[in-house]
């Protein structure tokens, strides 16, 4: 692969930002990778890992001459960051982000984008439960989807270029409206995270079952929830504050469905339970067939003789 | 290791039953392993895998002369199965099970246990989302916990023997009261499964988001739920029918907690969300430190450069 941008500025060098830098290096996609972090300690940690050509504590210095600028801090910081860098953005540059919500990003960042700069929001559907500059790795986006949500009237050449860029990082790319993105992600990501956080919290609160018991016997199913509930709290706070309507809508449906299951349990309606539990297997099959998860039992955590 | 029982009868040769047979062979724990399945087709599949010395369509023939008899069918079948085999159980034999609920098993099986037979219920906290005779493997119980719930007055020699047996299968063993087991498992296993089934069902029902979208973008968190929701429907139906009170109690607490999170989202209370999301990380750490899960990001599903 070959250079797509002479300089890329990544504002925020956590899991996603550092993984982008690693993947850009793997593909030789950028002449110069500039990283920004607000805190000196984070800059130091990023320097130790060594995925950037330059590191900056000043966002406007970081974006100078960049042909691609990526907002990769928590979504709640985007408005002030956009306002700060706006006067320093290069004419013709693409400004993008990696936030997990898109409507709020267009609302917050849009007003600060200068004439002649192409603002194309994006969301790579990839991540792990870990965070920070040490958490990144080049393969994070391989085979995962990245959703672009260009605002109406966005420059189509810029959209195509960003699309090629994400493909070069390893992703498959889909383009959709921000509003639809936020609804789809509410069900595939935001509500599952909220539920996981919630059930781990419930377990932690029980005065009748000890934490030691919860930990010991977690292999019964609970441990999978704790992985999700170990994700970055700042990022997830901002997701829920910024996708409120879609999350509350999906949660409402979730609770209606749960009432039906509860009623079936209370009334010992085995047939209703069996029917419900049978229906959900097909979705799992689809996810494996689509290459979005491993078919190995327990995600391959248990060693098998033939491995 | 050496032979602990001259003959072991396993009634039900699905994931758990077949894994026990594999693990017994690995350790040379049984002189003869006899398997039972109700359906000819299941017997044929078990024969093809080849983990048993004899296979039977008649449970009473299977248990003849066995020193250890294991009920490994869905919990809902235990009462009639116990009634059927009771007259054929060997004097001094240990009768056990692997059901995910324990109070109901003592209630259903207890009355049929003949004088001179030692009934010691057990529950190995291990499994995968797969089922059937082909799903078993010898390492399933390695490092996992197995809980024994001997009824009051149980023969202590028999309890010790069963404990050694599960240790020889690879497990760590804990002894507790059936009632406590059912409460602990409600939070670490039963309610997480119900929640996973429920959210996968909600996703499947949405007329506004397509199944294709759910599958494509599942890497955002949803896919972990689908693994759990792909588990055996018959087994889980029986779990919920037989641990109703504890499950409804924990579900009630779960819903109270969810109301608080919902309120925080509706009122944009970022501080409350952040606090909640921070607290849940510690439990994850505990589970990894206790050896009950892998520390690899995404359960190691994403390849990393240093692997």
Would the pLDDT of A302 be above 60? yes
> What pLDDT, on the 0 to 100 scale, is given for residue B282?
87
Would the pLDDT of B183 be above 70? yes
Helix %, strand %, coil % of chain B (to 5): 55, 10, 35
Would the pLDDT of B206 be above 60? yes
Sort strands B30-36 and B54-56 into parallel, antiparallel or unpaired. parallel
- In chain B, whose CA is at the least distance from the CA of A23? B305
> What pLDDT, on the 0 to 100 scale, is given for residue A304?
57
List, for residues B41-62, the tens digit of each pLDDT value.
999 999 999 999 999 999 999 9
Q: Identify the CA nearest to B199 among candidates A264, A250, A298.
A: A250
List, for residues A231-260, the tens digit of each pLDDT value.
999 999 999 999 999 999 999 999 999 999
Q: Which chain A residues touch B299 with a CB distance below 8 Å?
A: 227, 299-301
Would the pLDDT of B190 be above 90? yes
Q: How close A156 comes to chain B (CA, Å)?
A: 24
Q: Identify the CA nearest to A129 among candidates A279, A232, A204, A236.
A: A232
- Does the CB of B140 have a partner CB in chain A at under 8 Å? yes
Residues A264 and A272 sit within 8 Å (Cβ to Cβ): yes
In this structure, the dihedral spanned by the alpha carbons of residues B290, B231, B76 and B246, taken in order and rounded to 10 degrees, is 50
Would the pLDDT of B23 be above 80? yes
User: Could you give the domains of chain A?
Assistant: 5-176 (3.40.50.720), 180-297 (1.10.3660.10)
List, for residues B54-95, the tens digit of each pLDDT value.
999 999 999 999 999 999 999 999 999 999 999 999 999 999
- Going by pLDDT thresholds of 50, 70 and 90, the confidence category of residue A305 is very low
Q: In this complex, which of B100, B144, B241 lies closest to A268 when CB atoms are compared?
A: B241
> What pLDDT, on the 0 to 100 scale, is given for residue A307?
38
Could you tell me the strand order of the sheet in which A30-36 lies? Answer: A54-56, A30-36, A5-11, A68-71, A94-97, A118-119
> What pLDDT, on the 0 to 100 scale, is given for residue B305?
47
Would the pLDDT of B38 be above 60? yes
> What pLDDT, on the 0 to 100 scale, is given for residue A205?
85
List, for residues A64-98, the tens digit of each pLDDT value.
999 999 999 999 999 999 999 999 999 999 999 99
| Nearest-angstrom CA–CA distance, A120 and B139 | 49
What does each C-alpha distance from B259 to A195, A265, B20, B21, B279 come to in angstroms?
Answer: 11, 21, 42, 46, 18
> What pLDDT, on the 0 to 100 scale, is given for residue B220?
86
List, for residues A258-291, the tens digit of each pLDDT value.
999 999 999 999 999 999 999 888 899 999 999 9
Q: Report CB contact under 8 Å: A199, B240.
A: no
Mean pLDDT of A6-35: 98
Give the residues across from A30 on adjacent strands.
A5
List, for residues B236-269, the tens digit of each pLDDT value.
999 999 999 999 999 999 999 999 999 999 999 9
Percent of chain B's residues with pLDDT above 90: 89
Would the pLDDT of A62 be above 80? yes
Q: Identify the CA nearest to A74 among candidates A50, A47, A100.
A: A100
Residues 158-187 of B with CB under 8 A from A: 174, 183-185, 187
| Interface with B, mutate which of A192, A232, A278 (most B CBs under 10 A) | A192
Q: Which chain B residues touch A299 with a CB distance below 8 Å?
A: 227, 299-301
List, for residues B101-116, the tens digit of each pLDDT value.
999 999 999 999 999 9
Q: How many CB pairs under 8 A join A and B?
A: 359
- Going by pLDDT thresholds of 50, 70 and 90, the confidence category of residue B281 is confident
CB atoms within 10 A of CB A179: 14
Q: In this complex, which of B217, B253, B279 lies closest to A145 when CB atoms are compared?
A: B217
Q: What count of residues does chain B have?
A: 307
- Going by pLDDT thresholds of 50, 70 and 90, the confidence category of residue B1 is low
Mean pLDDT of B163-182: 97
- pLDDT averaged over every residue in chain B: 95
Angle between helices B178-185 and B244-266 (to 10 degrees): 30
Q: In this complex, which of B185, B222, B228 lies closest to A217 when CB atoms are compared?
A: B185
State the pTM of this model: 0.92
> What pLDDT, on the 0 to 100 scale, is given for residue A208?
84
| Nearest-angstrom CA–CA distance, A192 and B14 | 30
> What pLDDT, on the 0 to 100 scale, is given for residue A306?
45
Q: Report CB contact under 8 Å: A188, B283.
A: no
Percent of chain A's residues with pLDDT above 90: 89
Q: Which range among A133-142, B202-211, B224-233 shows the weakest confidence by mean pLDDT? A: B202-211
- pLDDT averaged over every residue in chain A: 95
Residues 5-64 of A with CB under 8 A from B: none
Residues B123 and B147 sit within 8 Å (Cβ to Cβ): yes
> What pLDDT, on the 0 to 100 scale, is given for residue B94?
98
Mean pLDDT of A15-34: 98
| Nearest-angstrom CA–CA distance, A126 and A293 | 12
Q: Identify the CA nearest to B14 among candidates B232, B236, B185.
A: B232
Q: Report CB contact under 8 Å: A208, B183.
A: yes
**Which of B2 and B128 is assigned the larger pLDDT?**
B128
List, for residues B25-35, the tens digit of each pLDDT value.
999 999 999 99
Would the pLDDT of A6 be above 50? yes
> What pLDDT, on the 0 to 100 scale, is given for residue B307?
38
Mean pLDDT of B275-283: 90
3-state per-residue secondary structure call for chain A: CCCCEEEEEEECCCHHHHHHHHHHHHHCCEEEEEEECCCHHHHHHHHHHCCCCEEECCHHHHHCCCCEEEECCCHHHHHHHHHHHHHHCCCCCEEEECCCCCHHHHHHHHHHCCCCCEECCEEECCCCCCCCCCCCCCCCCCCCEEEECCCCCCCHHHHHHHHHHHHHCCCEEEECCHHHHHHHHHHHHHHHHHHHHHHHHHHHHCCCCCHHHHHHCHHHCHHHHHHHCCCCHHHHHHHHHHCHHHHHHHHHHHHHHHHHHHHHHHCCCHHHHHHHHHHCHHHHHHHHHCCCCCCCHHHHCCCCCCC
Q: How close B202 comes to chain A (CA, Å)?
A: 6
List, for residues B144-158, the tens digit of each pLDDT value.
999 999 999 999 999
Sort strands A54-56 and B145-148 into parallel, antiparallel or unpaired. unpaired
Residues B98 and B72 sit within 8 Å (Cβ to Cβ): yes
- Going by pLDDT thresholds of 50, 70 and 90, the confidence category of residue B306 is very low
- Going by pLDDT thresholds of 50, 70 and 90, the confidence category of residue A1 is low
- Going by pLDDT thresholds of 50, 70 and 90, the confidence category of residue B304 is low
Residue B144, both tokens: 């996992």
- Does the CB of B248 have a partner CB in chain A at under 8 Å? yes
| Interface with B, mutate which of A27, A125, A216 (most B CBs under 10 A) | A216
Q: How close B41 comes to chain A (CA, Å)?
A: 20
Residue A263, both tokens: 């009623």
Mean pLDDT of B109-129: 97
- In chain B, whose CA is at the least distance from the CA of A182? B209
């Amino acid at each position: 692969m070959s250079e797509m941008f002479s300089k890329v500025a990544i504002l925020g060098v956590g899991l996603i930002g550092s993984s982008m830098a690693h993947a850009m290096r793997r593909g030789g996609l950028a002449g110069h990778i500039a990283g920004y972090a607000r805190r000196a300690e984070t800059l130091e940690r990023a320097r130790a890992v060594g995925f950037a050509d330059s590191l900056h504590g000043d966002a406007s210095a970081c974006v100078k001459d960049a042909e691609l600028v990526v907002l990769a801090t928590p979504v709640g910081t985007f408005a002030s960051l956009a306002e700060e860098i706006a006067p320093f953005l290069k004419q013709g540059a693409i400004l993008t982000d990696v936030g997990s919500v898109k409507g709020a990003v267009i609302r917050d960042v849009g007003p600060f984008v200068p004439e002649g700069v192409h603002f194309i929001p994006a969301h790579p559907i990839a991540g792990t439960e870990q965070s920070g500059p040490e958490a990144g790795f080049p393969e994070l986006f391989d085979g995962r989807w990245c959703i672009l949500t260009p605002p109406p009237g966005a420059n189509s050449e810029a959209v195509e270029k960003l699309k090629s860029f994400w493909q070069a990082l390893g992703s498959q790319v889909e383009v959709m409206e921000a509003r639809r993105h936020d609804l789809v992600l509410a069900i595939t990501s935001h509500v599952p995270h909220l539920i996981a956080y919630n059930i781990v919290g419930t377990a932690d609160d029980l005065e009748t079952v000890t934490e030691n018991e919860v930990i010991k016997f977690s292999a019964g199913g609970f441990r999978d929830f704790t992985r999700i509930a170990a994700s970055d709290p700042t990022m997830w706070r901002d997701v829920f504050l910024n996708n409120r309507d879609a999350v509350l809508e999906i949660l409402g449906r979730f609770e209606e469905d749960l009432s039906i299951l509860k009623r079936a349990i209370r009334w010992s309606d085995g047939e209703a339970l069996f029917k419900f539990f049978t229906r959900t297997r097909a979705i799992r099959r689809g996810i494996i067939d689509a290459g979005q998860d491993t078919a190995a039992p327990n995600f391959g955590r248990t060693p098998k003789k033939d491995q």
